[in-house]
């Protein structure tokens, strides 16, 4: 049996798991992510990996998703939510463990998981989108990454006769700002969806504005990718009971579905990438 040590590194916590070739998570460990200290962060990641040191002889690679842009050389200029820059994660771990190290944006890892192990596995092309504190996405064609748009939250959309970044009104934090524009004071998107569940009339204009923003977003994405299926995940999407049927009705000519793998998508996507690049290397 061979393994990948897979990590899903976020601004709040770092999840590290031992995943076998059947994509079963045999063990998982979670620690609070160290923020604002690059050296301590690197050491924390190394210590998390060392939890599975006794499996190293049969570990093929270390594979991980991170909350930031990763370039073609797998170098990381900035991890905004972890508040560190110029992060030499690949070089540090390669030297420390003498194993292949693969790094991608966390939305890319989740997209690979959903396209190959989740809802998209029966389709030729999948566009994965996560709507949470920020908004990220990736397009998978023939079960391989075709285009990474992890920064899609920063794309400009028309808004009130001007232009605005999508995340500013479409993300979880954006919904709070959108509500404030309509005279509704809330402390989080979760609070907003609780009010929607109560059918409070003051939520209606905010809700309609948010749906309009997301329709513009999907229209833009569809113009370029035309996937067989859209798959959605993230903190905002956990409130799907209050909006997803309306969401689907906005875009009836495409299939819109909820992600199947939940919080394990990042881990399983990292494992999928690791096995793919070590057992049958290809440009994922």
Q: What is the CATH number of domain 3-106+264-279?
A: 3.30.420.40
- The pLDDT assigned to 283 comes to 42
Delimiting residues of CATH 3.30.420.40 domain(s) in the chain: 3-106+264-279, 119-259
Name the pTM for this structure.
0.85
Q: What is the CATH number of domain 119-259?
A: 3.30.420.40
- The pLDDT assigned to 121 comes to 92
Per-residue pLDDT for the chain (284 aa), expressed as one digit of tens each? Answer: 899 999 999 888 899 999 999 999 999 999 999 999 999 999 999 999 999 999 999 999 999 999 888 998 999 999 988 999 999 999 999 999 999 999 999 989 999 999 999 989 999 999 999 898 788 889 999 988 887 766 688 889 888 888 989 989 999 999 999 999 999 999 999 999 999 999 999 999 999 999 999 999 999 999 999 999 999 998 899 899 999 999 999 889 999 999 999 889 999 999 999 999 998 655 44
Contact of 177 with 169, CB cutoff 8 Å: yes
Please state, in angstroms and as integers, the Cα–Cα distance from residue 239 to each residue in 90, 256, 262, 283, following that order: 36, 15, 13, 35
- The pLDDT assigned to 112 comes to 95
Q: How far apart are the first and last CA of the chain?
A: 23
- The rounded distance, in Å, linking the Cα atoms of 243 and 245 is 6
Q: Helix or strand or coil: residue 39?
A: helix
Residues 6+ apart with CB under 8 A from 244: 232, 237, 256, 258
- The pLDDT assigned to 281 comes to 53
């Amino acid at each position: 049996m061979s393994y990948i040590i897979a990590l899903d590194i976020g601004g709040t916590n770092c999840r590290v798991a031992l995943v076998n070739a059947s994509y079963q998570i045999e063990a998982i460990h979670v620690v609070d992510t160290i923020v604002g200290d690059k050296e301590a962060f690197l050491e924390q990641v190394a210590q998390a990996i060392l939890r599975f040191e006794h499996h190293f002889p049969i570990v093929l690679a270390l594979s991980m998703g991170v909350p930031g842009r990763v370039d073609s050389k797998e170098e990381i200029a900035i991890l905004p939510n972890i508040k560190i820059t110029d992060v030499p994660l690949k070089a540090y771990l390669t030297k420390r463990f003498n194993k292949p190290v693969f790094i991608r944006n966390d939305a890319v890892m989740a997209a690979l998981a959903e396209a190959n192990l989740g809802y998209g596995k029966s389709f030729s092309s999948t566009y994965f989108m996560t709507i949470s504190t920020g908004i990220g996405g990736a397009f998978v064609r023939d079960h391989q990454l075709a285009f990474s748009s992890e920064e899609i939250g920063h794309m400009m959309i028309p808004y009130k006769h001007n232009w605005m970044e999508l995340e500013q009104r479409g993300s979880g934090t954006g919904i709070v700002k959108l509500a404030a524009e309509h005279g509704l004071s809330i402390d989080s998107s979760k609070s907003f969806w609780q009010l929607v569940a109560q059918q409070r009339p003051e939520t209606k204009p905010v809700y309609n504005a948010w749906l309009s923003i997301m329709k513009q977003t999907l229209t833009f994405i569809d113009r370029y990718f035309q996937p067989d299926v859209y798959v959605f995940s993230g903190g905002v999407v956990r409130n799907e009971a209050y909006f997803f049927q309306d969401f689907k009705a906005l875009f009836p000519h495409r299939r819109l579905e909820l992600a199947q793998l939940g919080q394990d998508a990042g881990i399983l996507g990292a494992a999928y990438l690791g096995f793919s690049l070590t057992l049958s290397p290809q440009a994922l």
